[in-house]
Amino acid sequence: MEYIEFNFTIIPRESGNEILTAVLADVGFESFVETDTGLLAYIPNTKFSIDLIEKLDIMRNKEFSISYNYQNIIDKNWNEEWERSFSPVVISEKCCVRAPFHPANKSCKYDIIIEPKMSFGTAHHETTALMIEQILSLNIKNKSVLDMGCGTGVLAILAVKMGASEVTAIDIDEWALNNSIENAEKNNAKNMKIIFGDVEMAVGKYDVIFANINRNILIRDIPEYSKRLKKSGILLLSGFYEADIPVINDISESNGMKFIGSSVKNNWAVLKYKNK
C-alpha cells in the first residue's frame, strides 16, 4: 500500500502535536511520529486530498502556527527510522517494549518485541502506555481477551504473555494486520488469533476487551463491545482526550458498563469499566 507522508511544523509544538494528532486520526491518518519541530503523519494515498487538510479548523486556529509539506512513499526503512528516533519503553517497571535491534531488558517481566512498521502502538504514545499500565493491573491469566484496533498487536501480545487463554486481535488496516502477524510470531504468541475487519468480526463473549481507537469509532462501537463482554467482564478504552471523558462515559454507562477507574497522561485518557 502506498502512503502520503506529511511533515508538519507546529508552533507551539507540544500542545499543537496533541491536538493535530487527534484531528488527523479522525480524518483517516493512521500513523504518527513526533519530530523535533512537529509531526510526521501518514495517510493511505487512496484517502488523500489536499482539501482534507486545508478544511481543518486547526489550520486556521490563531493559537497555532502550522506549516507542512508532503510526499508519496511506497515503503521506508523503518528499522532505520526507529533507531534514529526511538528508545525502548519501560512501563510500570514490568513491561518493556522494544525493537529487535534493542537489547533485552532482563529486569522486565514482560519483554515485547515490536518490528518497526507504520502501525500505531509502540508504547511511545500516551494512550498505548496508559493501556499497558491498566492491563498490568489486571488478572488476565486463563481469560479470553479481545483487542480491537490492535495496530502492532502490542496489547494483545502482552495479554498472551500474562497468561490469557485466548486472545483475538482485530484491525481494519491491512498494514497493521500484517505487522501484528509478524510481531505475534516474533513474540511466540501462538494463541493469538489475528483477524482483518471491524467489531462485527468479533464472535462470542470475552472476559476482557481492549479498544485503543479514536473517539468517533469508540462512540460508534461501545454498544457492540458491551454485547461481547461477559458478565463482570472488563472493558478498557483509550484513544481520546481527557475532555472527551464525559461523552465516552455517558455512552458506556448507558450500555450497561460500570465505571471503575481512569488515568490521564498529557491530556490523553484511559477509562476502565466492568460489565454489570
The CATH class for the domain spanning 3-74 reads: alpha beta
How far apart (Å, rounded) are the C-alpha atoms in residues 83 and 94?
23
Q: Examine domains 3-74 and 122-275 and report if their fold is the same.
A: no
Q: Is the predicted pLDDT of residue 248 greater than 90, yes or no?
A: yes
Domain-wise residue ranges, the chain: 3-74, 122-275
**What element of type H or E holds 133?**
helix 126-136
Q: Is the predicted pLDDT of residue 256 greater than 60, yes or no?
A: yes
pLDDT tens digits, one per residue of 150-160:
988 999 999 99
Which region, left, alpha or beta, applies to residue 249 given φ > 0 means left and ψ of -120 to 50 means alpha? alpha
Which residue did the predictor score with more confidence, 58 or 225? Answer: 225
Q: Is the predicted pLDDT of residue 104 greater than 60, yes or no?
A: yes
As a whole-number percent, the residues of the chain with pLDDT over 70 amount to 92
| pLDDT of amino acid 122 | 64
Instruction: Judge whether 207 and 145 are in contact, CB under 8 Å.
Output: yes
Q: Is the predicted pLDDT of residue 138 greater than 70, yes or no?
A: yes
Q: How confident is the model at residue 266 (pLDDT cuts 50, 70, 90)?
A: confident
Neighbours of 18 (CB within 10 A): 18
Mean pLDDT over 233-241 rounds to: 94
Q: Is the predicted pLDDT of residue 176 greater than 60, yes or no?
A: yes
pLDDT tens digits, one per residue of 211-230:
998 888 899 999 999 999 99
Instruction: Judge whether 219 and 227 are in contact, CB under 8 Å.
Output: no
Q: Give the range among 156-165, 226-235, 237-246 with minimum mean pLDDT.
A: 237-246
How high does pLDDT run on average in the chain? 89
Q: Give the range among 76-90, 135-149, 206-220, 256-270 with minimum mean pLDDT.
A: 76-90
Q: Is the predicted pLDDT of residue 22 greater than 90, yes or no?
A: no
Q: Give the range among 7-11, 37-41, 189-193 with minimum mean pLDDT.
A: 37-41
As a whole-number percent, the residues of the chain with pLDDT over 90 amount to 54
In CATH, what is the architecture of 122-275?
3-Layer(aba) Sandwich (3.40)
- Residue among 86, 122, 121 at smallest CA distance from 101: 86
Q: Is the predicted pLDDT of residue 118 greater than 80, yes or no?
A: no
